[in-house]
Structure 1
Amino acid sequence: MKKRIMFIFATATLVPFTCVVLLSYHAMSNILSGNLENSVRSNLKQVELAFEGTISNLNHVTQQLAFQGSIGKKVDALLSSGDPFERTVLSEEIHTELNLISFTNPTIGLVMYYSQDDGSFMFNNTIVKEDYEIDGLPLLAEYFRISYFGPHVSNERYNDEFVISALRRMDVSGELDDVYVYVESGFETSHHIFENKVGDFSSYLILDNDKRIAYSDAAAAFPMNDYFDDSGGAGESGMLNGYYWFKSTSNQGWSIVSLIPKDEYNQEKNRWVTQMMYLSILFLAVTLLIAWLLWKMVYIPLHQFNREIKSITQKNTPPRDELATNIPEFDFLIKQLQNMKLQITDLIGEVEQKEKRRADLEVEKLLYQINPHFLMNTLDTAHWLAALNGNKELDKLILSLNKLLYYNLGKRGQASTIREEMDSIKQYLTLQKIRYDFEFDVRIRVDDRALDIEVPRFILQPILENALYHGLDDDGHIQVDVASHEGSIVISVQDNGAGISEEEIEKLLNEQQVEQQRAGMGIGLNYVKRMIDNQYGDQASLDIRSERSKGTTVYLKLPNREVLGIDQSIDRG
């Protein structure tokens, strides 16, 4: 038992834990990957927007300095003029406006006009390096009349930071057609762009329109001027040279790639896996320890509890003295078992008494069956005596009474048919015509389609009896109609008596049987109403309509179960 407890407890504990670990790893892996990718995508978007903002600003400044702007026109005039005084004035004005542009655009660094033929420059706003280079700068993108370079080391003296630059061709008159405007971004702007990383482990690549690497933070794996191969990726991400890469392409066609080393990318997952391994080992040790303690705590009380159960299963065994297991739950269960044994003994005695009473009821039931049988045999003897003596009226009376009693003493609620109910009514009317000293007429009309439809036994005679007793005087008549209509059987019993009031109708339909018996009327209607409620529920209805001095009509509406396809639920005895 010790091994089983440990095995079951460990299995029941470790299997769910393992499932939770696997599901957690899958969910955690998806979450970490999703969060990291979302973070990288968001970071790339910020860098891309910063680059686009810097390029847009460079474009705006170069446009001001080109021929279309005011400074560009003055530069064109200076280059075309041969008057020294005019050239001096224009030079001063150009310097003033350049200083104003530099002051109003703090994100701009070096600004100058550059001649491509001889490599000379003029109107620079800061000091230019002696070994400055423009033709060899990494081209980022090139459009009509303007080229963007970078990131590259600034051509400004005393500044070795990476910048982005723009070179725009000027529209100048005359023979000087190789003059360009050269503008660099401020080093703080570029530094801010490249500082915006996911972590210290991430790197950036800048690709030109042809996917050539114009700038690389990971030159060992992705040298500058090499072409970036993104064919192995799925869309804008993939893995290359031991790095996970994520790419964002600008509207101008150049791209920014974020590189994350594979080890760094999986670092969180590996750390989580290591923690889960240590936790699993600890969990297993604690589980085995708890299982062993559970066996120590439960085995001995269980053994005592088992002995108590065996003693209870033995008949007529007195309950043992209370056993102390030092575990309240087991002590409570043993006490409950002892109480249960006492209750079972009492229940057995009660069942024996009920069985004895049931046998007595069976005998009484047989007696009730014998008495009507004896009465009918006696009436049958009287019928033959009357027939032998030639007393036809008495013979007819006894024969009708015998048939009526045979039908009416049948089990209430047994299945009958409209045909049988009609035969019972005819026997009943034969007896009543002999009893009453006034003439009355009963007319019966039955739809042939309804004759064999099943209805509860003794359902029509109470309605007819109520009309005969309480509704007729001399020369009265009763109309009984049975019709089949739209899946229902509609039975109406109409008399031409004195009628009854609405209050009396309400009492007949709704008041309890005790009150109706006290009033001497409505007992039969109460039986009919209870019977149809029991057999049909809401599918059947009993309604009474009456007018003073004109008579009363009782309507009984029953469902035709054969037409509706409903299973017969009337007891057929």
Structure 2
Amino acid sequence: MIDTSSKQKYGWFHSLKNRLIVILLLSSFIPIFLIGFISYDSISTLQDHKMRSGIQNDLQKIKITLEGNLENLNHVSQQLAFGGGVGNDLYTYLTNNSVEKVVAERSIKEKVGFIGSSNPNISLMLYYNIDKKSYMFQNYPVRDHFSLSQLPVLVKEKEITIYGPHQTESRIFNNYVLSISRKVKFPHLDNIYIYIETNNEFLSEIFQNSQYGKNIDYLIVNKQGIITYSENQRYFPIGSSYKDSRKQDSHQYAFSERSNQGWEIVALIGKKIYEKESRSWFIKFILFAIASLCISLLFVWWIWRTVYRPLNRIRRAILTMNNEKNFEIKLTGLIEFDTLIHQFNQMKTKIGNLLNDIRESEKKKTRLEVEKLLLQINPHFIHNTLDTFRWKARLTGQEEMDRLLSQFGRLIHYNLRRGETATIKEELEALNDYMELQGIRYNIKFNISIHVDDSTLETPIPRFILQPIVENALYHGIGHEGIIKVDIRRQDEAHIIIKVIDSGGRIEDESIRQLLNDAKREQKNAGLGIGMQYVLRMIEYQYGEEASCRIESDSVRGTEVILILPVKEKEDSR
């Protein structure tokens, strides 16, 4: 049982209830957050693209409409200019005082009326004498103090000046219009201009018929960057610099479309309106997230009650066991907990048997330690016995027997001592002893040539890997006569290469493949029962993929076993 002092050592997160709350809230909140973030990003991108595309399309339509109407005004002005039908009549009217003047006046009025009626997008038309500041042949009444110099210039070109938008100069209407003026190039008359306005409903219709209607304020900026028309006089007054006004406005987005003539139409939309749909979606998402979290809390409470009661029952039952061997906890009715209780009851029964097993294991351990000591004593007994034979041979003058026993003793000592590695020098010494013993035992005539780089003599390699390779060359390669070469040198700073070459016959490729790849293949006649598989497994065990072994064989050169081993630090092999 956990007492009060022990409970203080546990943090808030060590409570199962608190962990369930955190885990379930995270499992609910994280997916909602990720889905919400991705959805919001996608919806915002789509909404932004939708708004931008819609507004830009509106602006392009408005620009095309304005350019079309200005082109229409220009076309009408050409009819009124000198060389056109009306312009020629005006010249006759201005240069004659006879009956021709009356006829010309009547013709001008008829033609101006016809042009006005046949062009519904045109309103006021007149001829203006800039010197006398007077006008004539107007089709609608004109405001007092009419003057071209007072109109806002949108674009000024060589022959034509575009104004506006501005309030109409007609006394009948009060709307904003676009207008143009063109100088009439009469011979000896330089003071006559044509003035034409668009329809009085033209601007309000094209702006109000846009996709977003009253949610957008429109500006028209001339080629010099001055605002000539504004539906937002608070931040963008007419006559001010658009660039300067834009710097002072931070609550609206601006979109623009530039005409070929250099003037620009700008659409202003409030950020709240622009982001309305995204904000509405975000509010709905927050409400959905809150609802999901509340549902998660209900699940936490339900799971807590489902888990806590069985756990509390198990805890009380365990505390009241009192070491009774056959005591069993009452089942809870839940499969998972009942399985746990059943396993606990089985564990209770097995504990007694386990204690008995432990006692038996202790006895076996003691017996194994005694056997281990005996195994350590046996090599010493062998060495002592060989020493006795060797001294006996020496005392009786049997020098050949003394030498053989000395070599055999060194070989036994090398093979039975502890450690998995030895230096190349030690491995070669053992190999020399072994080969000399084999030559005497079987009376085999062979030559063994050993070439070793002095810098590699103290390099550690796996113990007992040269003897099996040379032994295979001896028995399966050269037979009773032949040459065996052992070449050991550095391949590079990090590797050494060991070659064992015999002058025997060629080994078939399939035999080489089986020798290198078949781990279950048993090698017969291997020295001390250890063959090539020992060599392959030992270098794989110690070096892994850092080392490699390959066999090359042909009928001319014989068979060559090549080991490439990484250079490692020297270990204590004693």
Aligned to 2:337: 333
Q: CA deviation at 1:238?
A: 0.3
State the partner residue of 1:540: 548
1:320 matched to 2:329? The reply is yes
Identity of aligned residues (%): 30
Say which SS state the counterpart of residue 171 (structure 1) adopts. Answer: coil
Could you tell me how far apart the structure 2 residues matched to 1:349 and 1:201 are?
Answer: 84
1:167 to 171, 181, 203: 181
Q: Which moved more, 1:135-144 or 1:107-116?
A: 135-144
Shift of the 360–70 alpha-carbon distance from structure 1 to 2, 3 Å rule, reads farther
Q: Secondary structure at the match of 1:517?
A: coil
Distance of aligned partners of 1:234 and 1:200 in 2 relative to their CA distance in 1, 3 Å threshold: closer
Q: How does 1:290-309 map to 2 (within 5 A)?
A: 300-308=309-317
| TM-aligned CA distance change 1:436 to 1:178, over 3 Å | closer
Matching residue's letter, 2:140: V
In structure 1, the partner of 2:154 is 141
**Equivalents in 2 of 1:7, 1:450: separation in Å?**
61
Secondary structure (helix, strand or coil) at the match of 1:393 reads: helix
Give 3-state SS (helix, strand or coil) of 1:323's partner: coil
CA contact (8 A) 2:25 2:297 kept: no
1:175-214 CA deviation, whole Å, 9 max, x = no partner?
Answer: x544322212123422322314644355556667888876
Give 1:356 deviation, angstroms: 6.5
Distance 1:513 1:214, change over 3 A: closer
Q: 1:356 to 1:571 in 2, by over 3 A?
A: farther
Shift, 1:167, TM fit: 2.9
1:386 equivalenced with 2:393 (yes/no): yes
Distance 1:288 1:485 in 2: 69
Deviates more, 1:365-374 or 1:351-360: 351-360
Q: 1:484 aligns with which of 464, 478, 490?
A: 490
CA distance in 1 between counterparts of 2:364 and 2:194 reads: 121
| Unaligned residue ranges in structure 1 (runs of 5+) | none
Q: Classify the secondary structure of the residue corresponding to 2:214.
A: coil
Quick check: 1:435 aligned with 2:446?
no
| 2:532 equivalent among 520, 525, 529 | 525
Give 5+ residue unaligned stretches, structure 2: 1-11
SS in 1 for 2:330: coil
Structure 1 residues 322, 450: CA separation in 2 closer, same or farther (over 3 Å shift)? same
CA contact (8 A) 1:129 1:156 kept: yes
Contact 1:140 1:207 in 2 (8 A): no
Contact kept, 8 Å, 2:221 with 2:242, in 1: the verdict is: no
Report the AA paired with residue 339 of structure 1: Q
CA deviation digits over 1:230-289, x for unaligned, max 9? 687554x605xxx85858596667676666689978988998999899889989987887
Alpha-carbon distance in 2 for matches of 1:20, 1:490? 61
Tell me: CA distance 1:180–1:323, structure 2 relative to 1, closer, same or farther (3 Å).
Answer: same
Return the TM-score normalized by structure 2: 0.73
Q: Give the one of 367, 378, 384 matched to 1:371.
A: 378
Distance between the aligned counterparts of 2:290 and 2:404, measured in 1? 100
Query: How far does residue 543 in structure 1 lie from its aligned partner after superposition?
Result: 1.6
Does 1:456 find its partner at 2:462? yes
CA distance in 1, matches of 2:488, 2:185: 114
3-state secondary structure, aligned to 2:534: helix
Q: Equivalences for 1:144-543 in 2 at 5 Å? A: 146=161, 148-153=163-168, 155=170, 161-174=175-188, 177-196=190-209, 198-200=212-214, 202-204=216-218, 217=231, 227-228=239-240, 233-235=245-247, 238=249, 246=254, 300-308=309-317, 310=319, 316=325, 318-324=327-333, 328=334, 331-339=335-343, 342=346, 349=354, 352=358, 361-411=368-418, 414-437=420-443, 439-472=445-478, 476-487=482-493, 488-497=495-504, 501-502=508-509, 504-511=511-518, 515-517=522-524, 524-538=531-545, 539-543=547-551
Aligned amino acid, residue 541 of structure 1: C
Cα pair 2:220 2:227 within 8 Å, conserved: yes
Mapped contact 1:230–1:238 kept (Cα < 8 A): no
Cα offset for 1:400? 1.7
Change (3 A) 1:532 1:244: closer
Which secondary structure state, in structure 2, belongs to the residue aligned with residue 516 of structure 1? coil
SS in 2 for 1:54: helix
Letter in 1 for 2:524: Q
Amino acid corresponding to residue 88 of structure 1 in structure 2: V
Q: Secondary structure, in 3 states, of the residue corresponding to 2:123?
A: strand
Equivalent AA in structure 1 for residue 146 of structure 2: I
DSSP 3-state at the match of 2:451: strand
CA distance in 2, matches of 1:395, 1:457: 26
SS at match of 1:372: helix
SS of the aligned residue for 1:59 comes to helix
Q: Which residue of 2 aligns with 1:556?
A: 562
Rounded Cα–Cα distance in structure 2 between residues aligned with 1:475 and 1:266: 97
Distance of 2:491 and 2:236 partners within structure 1: 97
**1:366 shift after superposition:** 3.8
Greater CA deviation, 5-14 or 252-261?
5-14
Q: 1:527 to 1:256 in 2, by over 3 A?
A: closer
Given that residues 181 and 194 in structure 2 are in contact (C-alpha distance below 8 angstroms), is that contact kept between their aligned partners in structure 1? yes
2:82 alignment partner, one of 67, 83, 93: 67
Pick from 94, 110, 113 the counterpart of residue 124 of structure 2.
Answer: 110
Post-superposition Cα deviations, 1:331-352, rounded to whole Å, max 9, x if no partner, equal 5234325425635875983984
Q: Secondary structure at the match of 2:249?
A: strand
Q: Tell me: CA distance 1:160–1:456, structure 2 relative to 1, closer, same or farther (3 Å).
A: closer
How many residues are aligned here? 546
SS in 2 for 1:408: helix
Please give the root-mean-square deviation of Cα atoms over the aligned residues, in Å: 5.3
Cα pair distance change 1:375/1:102, threshold 3 Å: same
TM-superposed deviation, 1:112: 3.4
Q: Distance in 1 between matches of 2:236 and 2:395?
A: 137
